[in-house]
Amino acid sequence: MDLTLKIWRQKDAKSAGKFVTYPLKNISPNCSFLEMLDILNEQLIQKTEEPVVFDHDCREGICGMCSLYINGRPHGPDDAVTACQLHMRKFSNGDTIVIEPWRARPFPVIKDLMVDRSAFDKIIQEGGYISVNTGGAAEANNILVGRENSELAMDAAACIGCGACVAACKNASAMLFVSAKVSQFALLPQGQVEAKQRVKKMVRMMDELGFGNCTNTYACEAECPKLISRSNIARMNREFMCAKVI
């Protein structure tokens, strides 16, 4: 198929960016979206132009590194996939495809389509773990976890930290990401001891880093490639209220 690409090009964090249009011909529908960009880049290199920079690594939807805003949607038009798992069969011959980086103040652009998401690491550093030192663990089966809760915890833990939820939100809120981690531990007995501290610290850091508030639009849930549920946000709000009250 033949396509027209409108891609955000920005030299570095300090420079202003702009859209540049590239025609691209003869793309197989079985090609993945990132492979389509590889083909474009190969052509740019042949012309001694700088290839389009974008983050990617695993190319199988699990590392959370790819982060493209495609035709107005984080990770593009397919549901429940990351950009690296998106295939060109979701587009049609003659389409114009607009490709932008995540746009959110806490995720500044580094170059072209690559953004800095270290804010997410900072939130996790505040308490996205259980404080147990290596070697200090008890026999695993001494901790029993009901299957239902363990499945719900796994649902929440499936978050890949991609940031699509933030990019989708008009307020650039990180509630879905933060609540997924808070929920995972809130649902497990191991997480109880630090529960109150955890939610307070993580929420405080989220606010400090400039992520916006949640106004219950749930674009995050709609765009999350891992189908993280908005019910996690409700759970986090509950945890947060309890932590403040007591």
Q: Restricting to residues 13-42, which ones interact with another protein according to CB under 8 A? A: 28, 30-32, 34-35, 38-39, 42
Site for ligand FES, residues 62 to 121, rule: CB under 6 A: 62-66, 82, 84
Mark the segment that binds ligand SF4 (CB under 6 A) among 17-25, 102-110, 138-146, 161-169: 161-169
Considering the complex, what minimum distance in angstroms separates the CB of residue 67 from ligand SF4? 9
Binding segment (CB under 6 A) for ligand FES, from list 22-30, 52-60, 149-157, 214-222: 52-60
CA distances from 200 to 50, 182, 205, 236 (A): 45, 10, 9, 10
Per rule CB under 6 A, is residue 56 in the interface with ligand FES? yes
Enumerate residues 6+ apart whose C-beta is below 8 A from 39: 24, 27, 31
Count other Cβ atoms within 10 Å, centred on residue 202. 25
Which one of another protein, ligand SF4, ligand FES, none is in contact with 30 (Cβ closer than 5 to 8 A by kind)? another protein
Q: How far is CA 148 from CA 187, 188, 231, in A?
A: 10, 11, 15
Residue 221, judged by CB atoms within 10 A of its CB (0-12, 13-18, 19+), counts as: middle
DSSP one-letter code for 137? P
Judged by CB, which is closer to ligand SF4: 180, or 188?
Answer: 180
Residues that bind ligand SF4 (CB under 6 A): 159-165, 176-177, 180, 224-226, 228
